[in-house]
Structure formats: structure tokens, C-alpha cells
Structure 1
Amino acid sequence: MATKPGILTDWPWKPLGSFKYVILAPWAVHSTYSFMVKGESERDPLYFLILPFLLVRMLHNQIWISLSRYRTAKGNNRIVDKGIEFEQVDRERGWDDQILFNGVLFYVGYMINLPGTHNLPFWRSDGVVMATLLHAGPVEFLYYWLHRALHHHFLYSRYHSHHHSSIVTEPITSVIHPFAEHIAYFMLFAIPLLTTSFTGTASIASYLCYITYIDFMNNLGHCNVELIPKWLFTVFPPLKYFMYTPSFHSLHHTQFRTNYSLFMPIYDYIYGTMDKSSDALYEAALKRREESPDVVHLTHLTTPESIYHLRLGFASLASRPHTSKWYLWSMWPVTLLWSLILTWNYGQTFVLESITFQKLKLQSWMIPRYNIHYMLQWRRKSLNNLIEEAILDAEVRGVKVLSLGLLNQGEKLNKNGELYIQKYPQLKIKLVDGSSLIVAVVLNSIPKGTTQVFLRGKLTKVAYGIANALCEMGIQVALPYTDEYERLQLRLTTKSKNNLILSTSYANQKTWLVGERWNEGEQLKASKGTLFIPFSQFPPKKMRKDCLFYSTPAMITPTSFINMHSCENWLPRKVMSAWRVAGILHALEGWNVNECGNTLLNIEDVWRASLRHGFRSFTVPI
């Protein structure tokens, strides 16, 4: 929002929220119906193509969003180093309003029978040339002066400051303006469209290509990655006056009073508003190489629809905890196609996001595999190969610590990461499964005054660590089955084994610690108000509304985290899984030891280290 919002700031359909697209429904239905029932000689392709073209524009923008986020995470050719926060993501989530607005105007223009809007030919060369010249002349010239006017304090405080709230730009930042500004911009961009219409030189191609050109250049200028090769200007030097670069427009967002031009810098050269550092920034961005992180968190996809919740997916979904959305079900054919491409044709990890904390560069790397792949025994070898390749790649890059997230640290898969240490004992990189911090988080999530807990789920390394620590603290650990009780007795190292007890009285247990492969049907046996504390990688299924459920082990991050603007799976904003935090702590403390296999670090030391660096336990019922 602008600092002093003026009239026509909000979009007219803002009260409709997610249902705003219903305003296009009558035209969309009518155009489709007309195309299907009318004879070939009566059909008007332009009327029918408006809706598909709007959808293609949305896809075009989404491709730019994903590309920009991927390239900025890797770091090569990045222009501005500052991070993006959740506030910017929220402000820019309405980027589709501009496309919706254009769609309404296109349909209205067609319905009122503007000259040159019906039964257009697919191509007319004279119309394409005319649209090109009109854009290079009147449109670019008028935009330059309109833009300078918008930077006058009166208009800037009421309108244009909303756009400049984003100093670090993303492709969709290009269309984040108040409604009144979009009206002015459309009037400018309509000059070539209306002129060719009234002169009878318009064509379907000239309309679609011109609008696509505007979208392409807008996204290019705001992507925060330099993509224009230097040889292009070497081969044709005058091009620098007729085509801007991402670094050129980036300076406008950091300096504010320079580089006002739309897509053609020539007017900044003419009127002396060209930023003197434009060429230097362009050269520096081109020379910038991919960054080498200090800490890598290796994770993987969970469900097929989780691709939309990634930072590289839909920005608005990525900025919120992963929950199923009804409209994603309608995209299952596309989701299935993406799944096949990612899991069958893409055989290596990729950079998901990059965050800075203190002096550490933190990255998350994604293995393009789903939960189901980890459940299949015949896929274990290929999964281990992917994890191994990621570890070796991190070793070459000089990464200090790699934490194994989600199912990448399975006991049956790789013995909690020990498999790689045994195979490559000379590795300098430290592998962390995070078990010690998980135990610490769970212990500190148990309400004070608790004298007994009920342990359920698979007896993993974490389960043994929790049980051992609780028994030492004098808290009884109850299990309902004899075989589990006996196995746990054998693994306990504490002298307080008498605190491990057998109990089949489910209803009397008020605090349950639940892990992997827990029989979730046992929830029905719990009494009202029971607290369920997971120590598993994935949250248990909630079958009771009268009980409390904590999140999977996680911690609230310090405010000094930079560029954190997406949520980790089902966790809320600014909350990070304890497995991921464990790797960061390992690097911050400089612990020169692998936390794999059966190795557990000192629980108290790990917990104190997390608090010392600003992390806080996340124990809010979900």
C-alpha cells in the first residue's frame, strides 16, 4: 500500500477475494459456446482466444517467477543481494489482477464492437510495423514522462510508492501498482492496439505479440538476474538505446531518481537521467558466479502437489504452510505431467532456496523424489545414489555441514547417514541427522510437572534417545507392548531403567510422544484433552478434535534470518524444522564431528547452543 493511498487504489473486485475470476465467467462461457455452435464462417477466433491467451499470460508469468527464484537462489548473475520477506510476497500475491483487468477490457471492447476488433486476419505486416513504431515513439516517450510525474512527491506518496516498496524485485513486481496506475498504463499500451484497429491494419498476431512483448520485458526487467549477454550489444551497439537490461531497471528501484524509461533507455540518455553506474552494475552482474554455501539442508518432495508449495512454485502458496487446496485437484493432469518430468527425467538435486544467517550462507537442496519412492525397497539404491551425489557435490563446493532432511536419513535407507561416512571416510564435510536436537526439542515440549509419558511409534534412534533422557530425569516412560518394552530396555544406557514401565491403560495417559509408523487409530483410546507430541518427520493424522497436537519438532528462527519468505512444508512462517536447525548449529558451533548412525551429541549442550543463537522452541498446538 502507498504511504498515503489515493483514490482508485484498490481493485474494484477486491471484496470478492479468491472468487474474483467469476467476473470473467459470462464472457468465457459465451465465447466458448459461440465458437462451438456457430458455423465456421460465423466463428470469430479472436473472441474465443481471449480466455486462452489470459491463461497463457499467467503461465508465462509463473515461468518467470520460477526461473528468477531458482537463479537468485543459486546466486550466479544476481544483481541485488538483499533478501525478500513475507511482507513483500503478501503485497505481490495479487499479480493476476492486472491480467484480469485486461481481460475485462478486451471483452468489453469486443462486445461494444470497436472498429477493427471483429473477424481479424491472423497476420498483417503493415499492422505489426505500425504497432512497433508506435510503441518505440509515443508509448515509450509518454511513459517516460508519466513515470517521472509519478515520482513527484504528491503522486509518489499516493500511488507509485506502493510499487517501490519492493527494492529487491521479482518478475511480478512489474505489475504491482494501484488500480489507478494500471488505468494510465493501459491507456498508453492501448495506443498501438487502437491505432491499428481504427486504421484497419490490426491482426490477431499483432495484438497477441505486442501484449506478450510487454509481459516479457516487464518480467525481464524485474527478475533481479542479469540475463542479457554482452555479445548482443557488441554485435549491435545501438541496441543499448532500445533494450534495457535487468540491471538497468534494478538501479531504478535502488536509486529511485534515475533510469525512468519503460523498455528503451534512449529517453534516459536524451534527458540526462541515465544512472552513471548502469554499465558497471551490468558488467558486475554478468561476472558474478554461483555461490558456495556453508550449510546445505538436503530435502525432497513430499506429495505430487507439493511442487506448487515450493519456493520455486506458486509464491503465495509457498509463503503459507502446506495445506491441500481445492483448486489444485483440478490441475491433476498437469501435476501428473510435472511428476513424470521431475522423477523420471530429472536425475539430480537442485537448489531450492538460499538464506543468510549471521555470516553463514544456507541453502536447501531438493531431491526430485516423493515420499512414495522412499517406501519402495527397490528404489533405495537410486535414492542413495542421489543423496551420495549431493554430498560429494557439497564436498567439492566447500560446504561445511550437510543436514539430512525428511526421509533422506532413514535407518533402513542409509543407517541415519552412516553409510556415506563408511564409504567416504575422508570427507571433510560433516553429515548431520539432527537427532540430538530433536530429542532436546521434544524434551522441552513436555509440560512442566509431567511425571509420566506414553511412548508410541517405531523405536528409532530418536525414540531411544528420548526414553533414555526421560528416565534419567525421573519421568516414567510407558509402553503398551511387551516386545517394545524389552527392546527398549536393552538399549537404555541409564541406570534408571525402573522408570521404563508397561502400561495398557491408554485413557490414563495425558502426554503421548508419537513417532513414525504409529497406529493412529490408538488416538481413539486416548482421553479427552490428551496432548500428542510428535517426534516424527511427518505430522500425525489428527483424528480427534478434543485433543491437542503439537507440530513436528521445530524451532522459531531468529529475526536476523535474511531472505526467508517461504514456509517449510506444513510449518508456519519463520519456523524451521529441528533437523534443519541442527545443521546450522553444527556450523555455528564448529562441531568437528558427524552426527550419523547411532551417534548422539550431548543433549543439554545442543539445546543451550540453539537458545544462545536465538532459536526458540515452537510448541504451539496446531
Structure 2
Amino acid sequence: MASKPGLLSDWPWQKLGNFKYVVLAPWVVQSVYSFVTKEEKERDITNLLIFPFLLWRLLHSQLWISLARYNSAKTKHRIVDKGIEFEQVDRERNWDDQIILNGLLYYIGFMYLPGVSRMPIWRWNGFVITTLLHMGPVEFFYYWFHRALHHHFLYSRYHSHHHSSIVTEPITAVIHPFAEHLVYFLLFSIPVLTMLFTGTASVVVFVGYVTYIDFMNYMGHCNFELVPNWVFNIFPFLKYLMYTPSFHSLHHTQFRTNYSLFMPLYDYIYGTMDKSTDKLYEDSLMGRKETPDVVHLIHPTTLQSFYHLSPAIASLASEPYNSRWYLSMFGLIPYEFMLFTWIFGSTFTVERNVFDKLKMQTWAIPRFSFHYSKSSQKDAINSVIERTILEAESEGVKVLSLGLLNQGEQFNGNGELYLQKHPNLKIRIVDGSSLAVAVVLHSIPKGTKQVLLSGNISKVVCAIAKNLCQRGIQVGVVCKDNFDKLKLRIPTELWSNLLISTSYTQKVWLVGDGELNEKEQRRAPEGTHFIPCSQFPPKKMVRDKDCIYYTTPAMLIPKALQNVYSCENWLPRRVMSAWRVAGIVHALEGWDAHECGDTTLDIDKVWLASLSHGFLPMLDHPLIRNA
């Protein structure tokens, strides 16, 4: 909110939360009912088209969000080289409020304004009127209203809310208090009302004009330059009629310049054009060469997890992953995107982070978890990972950490496959197993004498069992086959602390890969601690025994790690998986060894190095455990 919220700052449906769209429901139902029940000659399609038009505006907005976030993560044409944080995401999550407001006013206007019903598809004179009125009154009035909003009285009560975002995203364009949006709607209604009262209105011009406003608004608030220089070289006069993202970015950093809506003409006329506008535009176009030091390679898990990626739905990406029923209605979109990225590129960039001078990116393979379980996909996915490693090395990346199933022991030997094929790699491959082991060991409650191992045996599980046995803690194993596998991978002198457990009396369960079913969980004593050893959390099935479910191995990240505005899978905000943190620490320490295959680094050394760089254990985080 603004620093001193003024009258009509809050939206009327603010308390409805995600149910705010119900305010449109009566109008949508009425428009459909009216169209269906009337005779064919009396039907008016204009009213019926309002709802599809609102859906188009939502889609248009989402396309800009995805484009901007994808480009901001990898482009060299960034304008403001700063990060976005969760505070801005939360402030801008209600960007669709203005579309709801516009929809209500459209429906009301249809009922009471002359010339709306039976609007023709196209009229040239309406197009000319709209163009002239926008270039004249709309741009002129907006310029002076915008300058007035920067007076300390109005700025502190209204416009400061918009300017809270120094690094802008497309949806920053529509983040204003309710009162401001009412004024903007009246301002943009000048051409529309004129068309209606002169009988020159048409569907195409109305839809086109609103789409033009959305397009220019979103484009101008991108934090990267996308208007090519040849546009102004061929048409020099356009510099007065069309702004660029760098032009408006200066308004958000300098505040007292570049007030114009879309046409810089009025800033030239009234002497408020920022003197550095042209230079910033040229510098942004030229861009800056940027090579990440660390790349974390992931993949979407479920189909719905696709929408939780940073370039997808911003509000979902800013929260821990949780399945939502309504996303199943868009089931084909993840497949279509997967096919598109698979054809035009092996991986796609999800996000970019900065830790002091260390630059990091997260890349994703366009495949879901279920693809990794198919033997027919194994060679193809390993080939993509291999190409990605070689691509990262050619770009100068120092460390590549393998996340989720990209480092499966049965899949590629915890990354050993790629070293066997390319033994002279300069890039360091990190599977993060040492830090994952350290996190699990430090999560076990003090005074624990016995633990129970459940799930499949993995590199991490073996290292945990070995360390626990060395400390004199008994490690119970449910399955005889897993017991035999563990005996082969830990020293014989530690076997005395390894046993087959059939009693399920241990109150600390270490859960590896594989399904922990409800029957097993029911046998756990009251107050059992379920601590995952894998990258995927166990399903919580026991609700009546006050059992404690830990998150997957992860650490709180330091404040110096910036541009973090999305959650990593099911982890809380500003928490990263141990496997991802391991890659960062590996680069910060400048370690020369690979960590993959059977190789495990010194666990205590890795743990202390992580703490020294500001990463903290999750034990005190409010979301570490959920009963």
C-alpha cells in the first residue's frame, strides 16, 4: 500500500481473496441467458463478447509475465541490474483487479450507454477518432495527471504504491490503488465514449484500443529493452510517439522525469525528458555479457508443477508447490510447452540469482518426473543432460549441480556417466550428496539412540547409515534386501549397529526414495519424526498421532543471496534444497573436485563451509515441520 493510504485505496472485493471473480458471475450469466433466450433477430453478440474479451486480457497479461520473467533470467539487455523479492511479488499478485473492474464497468455501460448494442465489427471513422483522441486529450491529460500524482500529497496517499517497485515487471503497470484506476478508466474512456456518442463505434476498434493500452503498458514495464534500434532509424519521428522500456524505467528510478503515458512528445514539450534516456536505451540494447558461475539443473516434477515455475504463474511460483484442482483444466499446456522447448532447445532458463559476485542460474529440462521412470526415455534424457553440461562448460560455467532426478543412481550413477564420457571436463559436476547427508544428520533430534531406515538404498542413505553407526546409533532397516545392500557399502566393523527391524518402535524414521505407504506410517509410534533423505517428500498420511514431517534436506539462504522471488518446489520461501546449496558452496569455496558417482566430500567440511557463507539449518524455520 501507499505510505499514507488515501480515500478509496482498497479494492471493494479485497476481502473476497481468490473468490473475487464471483462479482462478475451475475453479469456473465445474464449475458449468456439473454443471448440464448432471445429470438435470433433480437440477439446482441456485443454483450456476449465481454467475457471472452476479459479472458483475452488475462491471457495477454500472463503472456507478458512469462515472456518478461524468462527473458529477465537470461537476457543481456536488462535495464536495472537489481533483483525482485517476495515483497514485490505479494504487492503485485492482484494485478487482475483492474480487469475485474473494467469488466463490471463494461457490463454496466452496455446496459445504459447508447450505441453499444449491435455494434458493427469495423468502422474506419471510429479508428481515426480513437487515434486522434488518444494522441491528443488522453496523452495530454495523462501527462498532467501523472505529474500531479507526484506531488507529495497524492504521491504519499496513492502513487507511491506503484513506485514501490524499482525493478519493474509487466504487471507492475497495473498495480495502483482503486481510486487511481477509476481515474485511468475515465481517461481511457474518452475515445470510446466519443465513438459511441457519434455512432462510429465498432468491436474491432474497441478491442484493439484496449489491447493497445495493455500491450504498451506491459511492454514499457519490462526490465529489458526489446524495441530494436532500426525502428527509430527508419522512422525517426517515432521517438516522439512511442516510448521504450528504458524510457519508462528511468521514471521508476529518477521519479521526476519521463512522465508521459506512451508518447514521449509531452516530456519533450514540457522539458521533463530525462537527459540520459537515449544513452540508457543504447546501453540496454548493447547489453552486458554475463556468464553464470553456477547452474542448477532441474526438471518439473508433476504436470501442475509446471505452473509453479518462475516464468509461469507468478503467484503460484511464490508459494510452496501444492496441487490445485483448477489447474487440471489446463492439462495440455505443460505438454505443449514441453514439446516446444524440446524442439527449439534442450533446456530453458527458469531464474537468475546473485550472491555477492557469484552469478547463478537455474536451468530446467522439459521433462517431468514420470519420464525418468520410463526406460525408453533414459538415453534421451541423459543425452540432454550431457549436452547441457557441455554447453555450460563452453559458456564458462564453473559448477553445475544436478537437481532432482537428474542425478539418479540408477539413471546415470549420480552423474558419474558424464565424467566417464568426458574425463577432462573443466566444469565441476556436483550431486550435493555430502551436504544432503550433513543436513539430515543435523536434523536428527539430540539424544536419539535408534533410527529406522525406510525406502530405497541410495548414496545419501548409505552415507547417513555409515555416519550414524560410527556414532554408536543403531540403524534399523525394514527390508532384508536393503539390509544386505547396506552391509556391502559400509565397513564390517560397523555392522553391529545395523539390524533388521520388525518392531517399528523407533521414533526417528529416515525416509529414502520410494513410497512410504499408509500401513507403514500407521505402525509408527506417536510423535514419530519423519525425516526425508531424498529429494522428494513422503506423503503425509498419519494425522492422528502428532507425527512430525520434516521437509526434504534444505537450508535457509542468507540475505545476500538476491533476486529470489520463487519457491523451490515444496520448500518455503528463501529456502533452497541441500543439493542446490551444495553447488553454490562448491563454487564459493573454489573446490576443484567433482562430487558425483561414489565420491562423497568431507561431510563436516561441507557443513561448516555452508554455515560460514550464511546458509543456516532449517530447524528454527516455522515451516520446517508440519504435524
In the alignment, what sits opposite 2:269?
270
1:378-417 pair list within 5 angstroms: 378-417=376-415
CA distance in 2, matches of 1:290, 1:106: 47
CA distance in 2, matches of 1:110, 1:335: 37
Residues 5 and 494 of structure 1, relative CA distance in 2, 3 Å threshold: farther
In the alignment, what sits opposite 1:452?
450
1:549-560 pair list within 5 angstroms: 549-560=549-560
In the alignment, what sits opposite 2:69?
69
CA contact (8 A) 2:341 2:348 kept: no
CA distance in 2, matches of 1:494, 1:62: 59
CA distance in 2, matches of 1:213, 1:364: 34
3-state SS in 2 of match to 1:598:
coil
CA distance in 2, matches of 1:512, 1:14: 44
Identity across aligned pairs (percent)?
63
Residues 333 and 484 of structure 1, relative CA distance in 2, 3 Å threshold: closer
CA distance in 2, matches of 1:315, 1:502: 47
- How far apart are residue 342 of structure 1 and its match? 5.0
- How far apart are residue 333 of structure 1 and its match? 4.7
CA contact (8 A) 2:476 2:499 kept: yes
1:26-73 deviations in whole A, cap 9, x for unaligned? 111121223334343222121111000000001001000000011110
CA distance in 2, matches of 1:333, 1:397: 34
CA distance in 2, matches of 1:130, 1:339: 44
CA contact (8 A) 2:439 2:578 kept: yes
In the alignment, what sits opposite 1:366?
364
CA distance in 1, matches of 2:306, 2:94: 20
CA contact (8 A) 2:248 2:258 kept: yes
1:518-537 deviations in whole A, cap 9, x for unaligned? 44231121111111100011
- How far apart are residue 502 of structure 1 and its match? 2.4
**Number of residue pairs matched by the alignment:** 619
Bigger mean CA offset, 386-395 vs 472-481? 472-481
CA distance in 2, matches of 1:484, 1:34: 67
**TM-score between the two structures when normalised by the length of structure 2:** 0.97
1:321-369 deviations in whole A, cap 9, x for unaligned? 00012321333354554455456x4551011000001210010000000
- How far apart are residue 23 of structure 1 and its match? 1.0
CA distance in 2, matches of 1:305, 1:342: 17
Structure 1 gaps of 5+ residues are none
In the alignment, what sits opposite 1:440?
438
CA contact (8 A) 2:480 2:500 kept: yes
Bigger mean CA offset, 25-34 vs 458-467? 25-34
1:587-622 deviations in whole A, cap 9, x for unaligned? 011110000100000010011001111111123213
**TM-score between the two structures when normalised by the length of structure 1:** 0.98
In the alignment, what sits opposite 2:128?
129
In the alignment, what sits opposite 1:621?
625
CA contact (8 A) 2:341 2:347 kept: no
Counterpart selection for 1:540 from 528, 538, 541: 538
3-state SS in 2 of match to 1:264:
coil
3-state SS in 2 of match to 1:81:
coil
Provide runs of 4+ in structure 1 moved above 6 Å.
none
CA distance in 2, matches of 1:4, 1:365: 41
In the alignment, what sits opposite 2:10?
10
Bigger mean CA offset, 329-338 vs 77-86? 329-338
Is 1:29 the equivalent of 2:26? no
CA distance in 2, matches of 1:337, 1:27: 33
Structure 2 gaps of 5+ residues are none
3-state SS in 2 of match to 1:106:
helix
3-state SS in 1 of match to 2:118:
coil
In the alignment, what sits opposite 1:196?
195
Bigger mean CA offset, 360-369 vs 334-343? 334-343
- How far apart are residue 474 of structure 1 and its match? 1.4
Aligned-pair Cα RMSD in Å: 1.3
CA contact (8 A) 2:516 2:539 kept: no
3-state SS in 2 of match to 1:330:
helix
Bigger mean CA offset, 401-410 vs 14-23? 14-23
1:511-568 deviations in whole A, cap 9, x for unaligned? 0001001442311211111111000111011111121110000000001111000000
1:463-482 pair list within 5 angstroms: 463-482=461-480
CA distance in 2, matches of 1:398, 1:341: 27
CA contact (8 A) 1:530 1:548 kept: yes
1:62-461 pair list within 5 angstroms: 62-112=62-112, 114-289=113-288, 291-335=290-334, 337-338=336-337, 341=340, 345=343, 347-461=345-459
- How far apart are residue 487 of structure 1 and its match? 2.2
CA distance in 1, matches of 2:114, 2:540: 60
CA contact (8 A) 1:76 1:289 kept: yes
Is 1:509 the equivalent of 2:506? yes
CA distance in 2, matches of 1:481, 1:540: 18
- How far apart are residue 76 of structure 1 and its match? 1.9
- What amino acid does structure 1 have at the position aligned with 2:268? Y
